[in-house]
Amino acid sequence: MPDSTPDSFRHQGLRQQLVEEVRKKGIRDVRVLAALGRVPRHAFLDNVFTELAYTDQAMPIGSGQTISQPYTVAFQTELLGVEERMKVLEVGTGSGYQACILEEMGARVFSIERQRALFHATRDRLKEMGRKIKVFFGDGTLGLPAFAPFDRILVTAGAPSVPEALLEQLKIGGWLVIPVGNEEIQKMMRIIRISESEVESETFEDFRFVPLLGQEGWRAIR
Ligand code: SAH
């Protein structure tokens, strides 16, 4: 069960320490740091992990999935360069934590998850929290054509390659942030759609995500 205890002074204090830790690791965007300081990460975790919620670690969230490490969330969010009112698609809702950070940045967030149990639990949690994030069940490697195009797309699972459908659903001038590599390690990439048919890409540091499964992801019998 998610921790239903309200946000206490203790949680807030621990969260400020976490923000400081993430800042020291190199995240400089003050809007990202402020968002990290506002979202109660403990509320996305099982009670047994409450004590660890404000350490800079990934944590299990059920269905064999994880909530990303806060540094990773901050890194991806910073690269995404979200501005107020932008339409953002997240692939891999998981716990919903990253989606809340995006909403705190002022984005209109659409998020898609392929694990049914996780989708239901997270949709309910976000609703209870009063969040406006729109959560969908399905294969996010195919994007969300009914709501495209997006200003930004963020993939929070490790991809074998960049899904075509996601590039197609980016606005011209839109940005896609996605970890690409093998199942063990991925390089963070930022791809900018500069015209109908051209993209520019940049490569950043290594990360380790759970696999992006699906038609344009890893084909797995899972
Ligand atoms: N952003 C999440 C972390 C998610 S871990 C958070 O803040 O908690 C990656 C998630 O991607 C997992 O929940 C996994 O089930 C999901 N996933 C993997 N492949 C997917 C796909 N093709 N479409 C949608 N979700 C996918």
Angle CA 15–16–19, to nearest 5: 90
Residue 94, domain extent: 69-221
Evaluate: CB of 143 within 6 angstroms of ligand 1.
no
- 93 within domain boundaries: yes
- 74 within domain boundaries: yes
- What average pLDDT does this structure show over 86-109? 98
What integer pLDDT is reported at residue 3 of this predicted model? 46
Summarised one tens digit per residue, pLDDT across range 106-149 is 999 999 999 999 999 999 999 999 999 999 999 999 999 999 99
Summarised one tens digit per residue, pLDDT across range 194-214 is 999 999 999 999 999 999 999
- 2 within domain boundaries: no
Task: Tell me the whole-structure pTM to 2 decimals.
Answer: 0.96
- 10 within domain boundaries: no
Is 188 a residue whose pLDDT tops 50?
A: yes
- 41 within domain boundaries: no
The pLDDT confidence band at residue 1, using thresholds 50, 70 and 90, is very low
Mutation test residue for ligand 1: of 57, 65, 97, 139, the one with most atoms within 8 Å of CB = 65
- 190 within domain boundaries: yes
- 18 within domain boundaries: no
What integer pLDDT is reported at residue 34 of this predicted model? 98
Find out whether 139 and 114 touch, Cβ atoms under 8 Å. yes
CATH of the domain at 195: 3.40.50.150
Rounding to the nearest 10 degrees, give the CA dihedral for residues 96, 100, 102, 106.
150
Mutation test residue for ligand 1: of 61, 109, 114, the one with most atoms within 8 Å of CB = 114
From the CA of 92, how far away is ligand 1's center (Å)? 3
- 44 within domain boundaries: no
Domain count for the chain: 1
